[in-house]
Amino acid sequence: MPVAQTRTTPKLVIYGCGGHGKVVADIALTRGLSVEGFVDDKAPEGGRVLDLPILGGATWLEARRSNVRVALGIGENQARCRVYELCERLGIIPLTLIHPTAAVASSAQLGAGVVVMAQAVINPDARVANGAIINSGAIVEHDCEIGAFAHLSPNATLGGAVRIGAFAHLGLGASVLPGKAVGDEAVVGAGSVVLTDVPPRVVVVGVPARVKRQREDR
Ligand SMILES: CC(=O)SCCNC(=O)CCNC(=O)[C@H](O)C(C)(C)COP(=O)(O)OP(=O)(O)OC[C@H]1O[C@@H](n2cnc3c(N)ncnc32)[C@H](O)[C@@H]1OP(=O)(O)O
């Protein structure tokens, strides 16, 4: 007599229950995925967000590592990377999530843990590295390269073949002209327009974008 096989589908949890985590959870739900709840190291266990439970923190995840999938729900770039690294240590590859209204070219490449939000566009041969966020309505034109754990805020727009460094952050509605580069960990202020390459670890603002200061945080 054949032995019945019991296979449990891994549960999906969202790591981070703040504003970004809520949007990520909403994408998962919109895609028809079943979300078990949130994992968060700071929020109180037993609380609820979007009517989903806060299950616990990193220790909760560690205990269930063999039967869990994780979507990254943290907006801050360095903190998101730390969660990604935690997942790696636990043998979990973070889920890549794309909102159904986003348009992603079939030749675009998205790394693990990338989240693409509603109405975003990613055009042919663009490459988006692990853990990056392409937020609502952002446009990543053809042949762009987005570094790991970078964040393109809502309505940020990149011309063709733009390079965005790892951990860089483009503010709401910021634009980068075709072929230009934004350095690792640089910040481009909301509404700014980048006409020339931006060095690493600086904050640029304005039209045209000019260096305001060096970044001191990490
Ligand atoms: C779903 C989501 O919410 S995703 C998150 C989206 N978040 C964003 O888009 C935020 C982007 N952040 C910004 O634009 C910020 O203003 C930053 C990071 C550029 C600068 O922040 P801070 O270093 O705190 O600068 P601060 O507010 O003290 O302003 C410093 C100066 O820069 C100017 N400035 C700040 N931001 C901008 C901007 N976006 N464009 C033009 N000038 C700006 C200020 O007017 C000020 O000028 P002054 O020195 O002449 O007085």
**74: in domain:** yes
137 lines ligand 1 (CB under 6 A): no
One domain, residues 182 and 102? yes
**For residue 4, what pLDDT band results from cuts at 50, 70 and 90?**
low
Residue having the nearest C-alpha atom to atom 21 of ligand 1: 189
CB atoms within 10 A of CB 29: 14
Q: Report yes or no: 110 and 85 within 8 Å, Cβ to Cβ.
A: no
The residue whose CB lies within 8 Å of the most ligand 1 atoms, and thus the one to mutate among 116, 212, 216, is 212
Q: Is 119 left (phi over 0), alpha (psi -120 to 50) or beta?
A: left
The answer on pLDDT for 217 being more than 80 is no
For 180-211, write each residue's pLDDT tens digit.
999 999 999 999 999 999 999 999 999 999 99
* pLDDT at res. 216: 84
One domain, residues 65 and 160? no
Active-site residue identified among 99, 142, 151, 169: 142
CATH number for the domain spanning 52: value is 3.40.50.20
142 tagged catalytic: yes
212 lines ligand 1 (CB under 6 A): yes
Total domain count, the chain:
2
